[in-house]
Amino acid sequence: MKKRKIKVFDTTLRDGEQSPGASMSVTQKLEFALMLEDLGVDRIEAGFPVSSEVQFKAVEEISKKVKKSTIVSLARCVHNDIESANEAMKHAKDRMLHLFIATSPIHRKYKLGMSKKEILKRIGESIRYAKYYFDNIEFSPEDATRTERDFLYEVIEVAIANGATTINIPDTVGYSVPEEFEELIKSIIRNVPRVSEIDLSVHCHNDLGLAVANSLAAISAGATQVEVTVNGIGERAGNCSLEELVMAINIRKDYLPFKTRIKTKKLYKASKLLESLTGLIIARNKPIVGENAFLHEAGIHQHGVINNRKTYEIIRPEDIGRDPEHLVLGRHSGKHSFREKLKYYNLKLTKEQFEKAFSKFQKIADKKKEVSDDDILIIVANVLGQYPNGYRLEYFDVKTGNKIYPSATVKIKKGETKMVSSSTGNGPIEAVFNAIDSAIGLKAKLKDFVVSGVGAGRDAQGQVKVVINVEGNNYVGRGNSTDIIEASANAYINAINRYNFSMEAANLIKKQNSKKEKRVS
């Protein structure tokens, strides 16, 4: 089946950044824009330059550095906004202006105080003015889905006649349902024949949880561009999620004959980067990128997945750049899953050792909801007659401020051995991680770092999750504390311990096996 190309217009840095708690600095925005470019986004809406100095500067910096995606700036139908966007994007290799004005009766009456005639006049004038600076102009009739149909067609006709090259149909308040939205797009195509000369875009909000479904319906009806945000962040309940939309197209090729330029293997990285830049932590059960999206707890599911992942997985974690998640063991897990977990850590036990370890596991599983990999590694080391001897943070001291280079000293204990070391870093947490590396004598690559809060109020605990990479394998560590630096240090040490546990346990088993072989011979 021939696939139709769909342009991906990402507005994480504009509409997404408008959501509470998502604001980013200029440097953070630039870092994320480079991620979007790498991901293969066609158009990056970098900001609303006239709205603040930070917005202006961010659009300017992004325009200087991003070369493979078109840079877009938002502007009201006002000369000053258009000039500001022109100035902010003057270094862009490829650029587009995004002009908007509300068209629905409620916005006309209560927000703009303008008649239909005045709005049509303003649209024509603004696009003509913007044409002086820009070849590419996207025009959005804000609240399009609650605008009278005939007026909406007229608005679109005027915008195209005056030089708009993309028309975007926003479902500003997330009011539409898929069938209705599909019909709206079809009727625009039927009633405004000139839309075939331009890109027809959609921009769906998620107030009813229908943003992805509405966007897919619109593409099926003939839309050629979708506006999305990473992790679905955006005003109120957010916008259409980039990763959900792209993976729906990808997985259901049979039903959705479309293609995008998105490199799906970078989706997870983009999601995690946004989480760490904004601190907006996504729900564990969020499709595609959530913590639980590839975890299987129920025994029957685990058994099925071990035999053939397709029994309960429609997406391969590797396809979005995630490590194939191993199983979370709990009360419902049987011997099959336990054996699989040992295999994952390359732990080969004799039959007798396995039975012992499994019965210890069951006892813990009865008490705990989730048996962590650390628990399992400890069980194994226990069965083999040796307790794993992990590193422990005994003391740390950090000096930081806005006028000094952050430095840290750590004291770490392993059994009776004490290790002390100091280091510097770009921030206090990096300084602590560097000091830990130097004390232990291990260089781990930090792959992921996520901070979240547990509880509310000033005494809330910081919860840190880190992923480190040692010798090509990833190890996850977690730490909690009311002090975020201590939580980070503990998470980092926890990940290192995990690496060590698996190495030690594997070595122990090797030794035991070779002893046995000698005895036999």
Q: Find the shortest distance in angstroms from Cβ 216 to ligand KIV.
A: 18
- For 501, the token pair is 């546990």
Per DSSP (E only), the strands in 162-247 are 166-171, 199-204, 225-228
User: Footprint of ligand KIV on residues 426-485 (CB under 6 A)?
Assistant: none
Cα–Cα distances in angstroms (integers) from residue 351 to residues 125, 331, 346, 354, 400, in the given order: 81, 22, 15, 5, 54
**CB under 8 Å to 518, separation ≥6 — which residues?**
none
Q: What, of Zn ion, ligand KIV, none, does residue 142 touch, CB below 5 to 8 Å by kind?
A: ligand KIV
Contact region with ligand KIV (CB under 6 A), list: 168-176, 340-348, 403-411, 473-481 = 168-176
In the bound state with ligand KIV, the residue whose beta carbon lies nearer, of 14 and 341, is 14
Q: Find the shortest distance in angstroms from Cβ 15 to ligand KIV.
A: 5
Q: Find the shortest distance in angstroms from Cβ 201 to ligand KIV.
A: 9
Distance CA(13)–CA(45), nearest Å, equals 6
Q: What, of ligand KIV, Zn ion, none, does residue 100 touch, CB below 5 to 8 Å by kind?
A: ligand KIV
In the bound state with Zn ion, the residue whose beta carbon lies nearer, of 15 and 182, is 15
24 alpha carbon, distance to own chain's centre:
15
Q: What, of ligand KIV, Zn ion, none, does residue 428 touch, CB below 5 to 8 Å by kind?
A: none
DSSP state of 426: S
Build a one-symbol-per-residue string for 185-224: x at contacts with ligand KIV by CB under 6 A, - elsewhere.
Answer: ------------------x-x-------------------
Q: Cβ-count burial of 188 within 10 angstroms (0-12 exposed, 13-18 middle, 19+ buried)?
A: buried
Q: Find the shortest distance in angstroms from Cβ 214 to ligand KIV.
A: 13
Q: Tokens 């959900």 sit at which residue?
A: 244
Q: Find the shortest distance in angstroms from Cβ 394 to ligand KIV.
A: 52
In the bound state with ligand KIV, the residue whose beta carbon lies nearer, of 156 and 410, is 156
Residue sitting closest to Zn ion (CB): 15
Query: Secondary structure of the chain: what % helix, strand, coil (to 5)?
Result: 45, 20, 30
Our finding on whether 15 is near ligand KIV (CB under 6 A) is: yes
Distance CA(91)–CA(95), nearest Å, equals 9
CB atoms within 10 A of CB 339: 15
Build a one-symbol-per-residue string for 71-110: x at contacts with ligand KIV by CB under 6 A, - elsewhere.
Answer: -----------------------------x----------
Q: Find the shortest distance in angstroms from Cβ 15 to Zn ion.
A: 4
Closest CA to 211 of 179, 178, 167, 184: 178
In the bound state with ligand KIV, the residue whose beta carbon lies nearer, of 29 and 205, is 205
> Sign (positive/negative) of CA torsion 274, 275, 281, 285?
positive
For the chain, the farthest-separated pair of C-alpha atoms sits apart, in whole angstroms, at 98
In the bound state with Zn ion, the residue whose beta carbon lies nearer, of 106 and 454, is 106
Contact region with ligand KIV (CB under 6 A), list: 20-28, 36-44, 165-173, 428-436 = 165-173
Amino acid residing at 413: K
In the bound state with ligand KIV, the residue whose beta carbon lies nearer, of 114 and 364, is 114
In the bound state with ligand KIV, the residue whose beta carbon lies nearer, of 184 and 489, is 184
Cα–Cα distances in angstroms (integers) from residue 390 to residues 314, 417, 486, in the given order: 38, 11, 17
Among 170, 390, 428, 479, binds ligand KIV (CB under 6 A): 170
Which residues form the interface with Zn ion (CB under 5 A)? Answer: 15
Our finding on whether 140 is near ligand KIV (CB under 6 A) is: yes
DSSP state of 240: -
Q: What, of ligand KIV, Zn ion, none, does residue 498 touch, CB below 5 to 8 Å by kind?
A: none
Q: Find the shortest distance in angstroms from Cβ 203 to ligand KIV.
A: 5
Q: Find the shortest distance in angstroms from Cβ 174 to ligand KIV.
A: 9
Q: Find the shortest distance in angstroms from Cβ 450 to ligand KIV.
A: 28
Our finding on whether 172 is near ligand KIV (CB under 6 A) is: yes
> Sign (positive/negative) of CA torsion 25, 29, 30, 31?
positive
Q: Give the DSSP H or E segment for 250.
A: helix 242-251
Q: Find the shortest distance in angstroms from Cβ 234 to ligand KIV.
A: 8
**CB under 8 Å to 362, separation ≥6 — which residues?**
none
Per DSSP (E only), the strands in 52-185 are 70-76, 95-102, 137-142, 166-171
Q: What, of Zn ion, ligand KIV, none, does residue 182 touch, CB below 5 to 8 Å by kind?
A: none
Q: Find the shortest distance in angstroms from Cβ 163 to Zn ion.
A: 23
DSSP result, 358-381: HHHHHHHHHH-SEE-HHHHHHHHH
Q: Tokens 């560590």 sit at which residue?
A: 477
Contact region with ligand KIV (CB under 6 A), list: 112-120, 167-175, 356-364, 371-379 = 167-175
Identify whether the C-beta of residue 49 lies closer than 8 Å to the C-beta of residue 59. yes
The binding site for ligand KIV (CB under 6 A) comprises: 15, 100, 140, 142, 168, 170, 172, 203, 205
